[in-house]
Amino acid sequence: MVRSSVRGDRRRPEVRDAGEGWDDGPTADAADDASPEPKGRGRHGGGGGRRRGSAPERPRKRRILRWSATVLAVLILGTAGAGYLYLQHLNDNIERDDLNLGDKEIAEPTPNAAGQTPLNILLIGSDARDSKENQKLGGAKETFGATPLADVQMLLHLSADRTNMSVISMPRDTLVQIPKCTDPDDGKVYAASNGRVMTNQSLGRGGPGCTVATWQELTGIHIDHFMKIDFAGVVAMADAIGGVPVCVDANIESRDSQGHGSGLKLEEGTTYIKGVKALQWLRTRYGFEDGSDIARAKAQHMYMNSMVRELRENATITNPNKLRKLAEEATKAITVDDGLASVTKLYDLSTELRKVEPKRITMTTMPYTYVGARVIPKEGDAEKLFRLVREDIALDGKDKKKSTTEKASDDPAAADDEIGVLVQNGTRTSTLASVNGRASTVSGLLVKEGFTKATADTTTASAEDETVVRYPSAELEGDAQAVAKALGIPLSQVEKSTSVSGVTLVVGADWRDGTAYKAKKKDDKTPESADALNGGDKDACMHVNPNFTWS
């Protein structure tokens, strides 16, 4: 395990001032037209600043890179043919961190008929002020060197057949239960949060692996990789690539009388932005629509979609010097898990990502409900969105109909009283606690049905939207199906999983009470509350708050 990030001992307050983080607080000194001068690479909290200043903006189509996996992967494309030493140099640029710092496993998705599995990557934007450059870009001088926060969090889901891609943003002020995490550098154990706290605090509890663990336990989605970048990385990579077009429906200046705002100033219509201006767009809250984190996420989605279209339309890079600069900036700007920590692995990822056309990319925001000034996942809609991703169902509604035919196993089941079954309680939802004693109740039902070796697990399992029966190997498939049939659970909810050691029944949120299981008819449409944006939409334009316009 290689990791160079150093997290300070100082802790940030749970509720932060508007000028902190990826929020558009008091405008940074550098925030209007020029990128900062080159600085040494920061080490506190991962990533760090180092880049040369940006050239003046030119209103023409060019390529731009941001911290998303899609752009990073495409940017690396031309480096695979470089010499061994240069490749090693690029590999050394890449910072690494542990993937998952939690202590609970989430079942990996079941391969499709072709043996393919989806790919889930968590994208994290850190607010670290660990260098002079990050401080200059981020403002909030009083937070220099403090524990970084994960103020931007997006889950990128690449479908198993590589035909579509879905992205879910989670607002930074979402209240969640952060699980116990252990810092691999010093062994410090961060106990599970006492109640719900803002999700952005997860990064400061041992590193990005704790943010991954938080996402996995909330959503039930197995996460394969993460990528993290900070302020300076966004600016440097955007400068290295060029500009991307963004649109506002009125003149905008993100700055109020108290100095709050990102400093973004654009004329009505479409403008190509890069460097610091790109960072301003991504951080802007004051000025877009209702001034919320939700509006900012929408602007980030528009930016990412536009960026991907630009890259695909102008994908060929022929200038060796420019290519080399792009490779340098990309590899210096990121922190990743070991599974992505080489140019070769990033190139392989890019090959997979490039298979998806922009029109099959869907950007969403986790459905939410306000609790005071914060938000929590919206009951029903949030779980539905997470389920669609878990089941690899495209959010654009253009998937081919998946077969729902239930096929009985060729493996004969053992006698009911010889089948060992572990029953777990997965009835927790994003807003409801687990139902006490549910595993014991259902294991009792199995015993009455003749499965005398059924036992209840006294620990709480990961949340499951629907009840599922899992088995570890082919010789237990028949046993698992026998358990499902005895309780009226559809065979489509019986799955092979390496996360279990025997037949395991997880009672889901769809069976929180009663003794008879009733399978619900599935609705696979993306909830309207997810505010979906299609990657092929070239007419998307941010609505400007009238209080932040100018003439």
Amino acid at 330: A
Q: Identify the weakest region by mean pLDDT among 3-12, 121-130, 240-249.
A: 3-12
Instruction: Kindly tell me if the per-residue pLDDT of 480 is higher than 50.
Output: yes
Contact status, residue 52 vs residue 38, Cβ threshold 8 Å: yes
The structure tokens listed for 331 are 């590899």
- In whole angstroms, what is the distance from residue 391 CA to residue 118 CA? 9
Dihedral, CA of residue 257, residue 262, residue 266 and residue 269, to nearest 10: -110
CATH architecture of the domain covering 416-511: 2-Layer Sandwich (3.30)
Amino acid at 326: L
Could you tell me which of 146, 165, 105, 176 has the C-alpha nearest to residue 532? 165
Q: What is the largest CA-CA distance in the chain?
A: 80
The structure tokens listed for 485 are 């049939």
The pLDDT > 90 percentage for the chain reads 53
Q: How many CB atoms lie within 10 A of CB 379?
A: 14
Instruction: Kindly tell me if the per-residue pLDDT of 293 is higher than 90.
Output: no
SS3 357: coil
Instruction: Kindly tell me if the per-residue pLDDT of 76 is higher than 60.
Output: no
Residue 288 is classified by DSSP as B
- Ranked by mean pLDDT, the top range of 50-54, 283-287, 293-297, 414-418 is 414-418
Residue 276 vs residue 55, higher pLDDT: 276
pLDDT tens-place string over residues 523-549: 899 999 999 999 999 999 999 999 999
Task: Give the CATH number of domain 69-399; options: 3.30.465.10, 3.10.310.10, 3.40.630.190, 2.40.170.20.
Answer: 3.40.630.190
Buried b (16+ CB within 10 A) or exposed e, 519-549: eeeeeeebbebbbbbbbebeebebebbeebe
pLDDT of 309: 85
- In whole angstroms, what is the distance from residue 361 CA to residue 96 CA? 28
- The pLDDT-based confidence of 258 (bands split at 50, 70, 90) is confident
pLDDT of 67: 34
Summary mean pLDDT of the chain: 81
Which sequence spans correspond to the domains of the chain?
69-399, 416-511
Amino acid at 460: T
pLDDT tens-place string over residues 424-436: 999 988 778 899 9
Instruction: Kindly tell me if the per-residue pLDDT of 217 is higher than 80.
Output: yes
pLDDT of 367: 96
Q: What is the pTM of this model?
A: 0.74
Q: Identify the weakest region by mean pLDDT among 56-70, 266-280, 477-491.
A: 56-70
- Ranked by mean pLDDT, the top range of 70-79, 120-129, 522-531 is 522-531
CA distances from 469 to 142, 291, 426 (A): 52, 45, 12
- The pLDDT-based confidence of 9 (bands split at 50, 70, 90) is very low
- The pLDDT-based confidence of 85 (bands split at 50, 70, 90) is confident
Contact status, residue 270 vs residue 245, Cβ threshold 8 Å: yes
Instruction: Kindly tell me if the per-residue pLDDT of 374 is higher than 80.
Output: yes
pLDDT of 233: 67
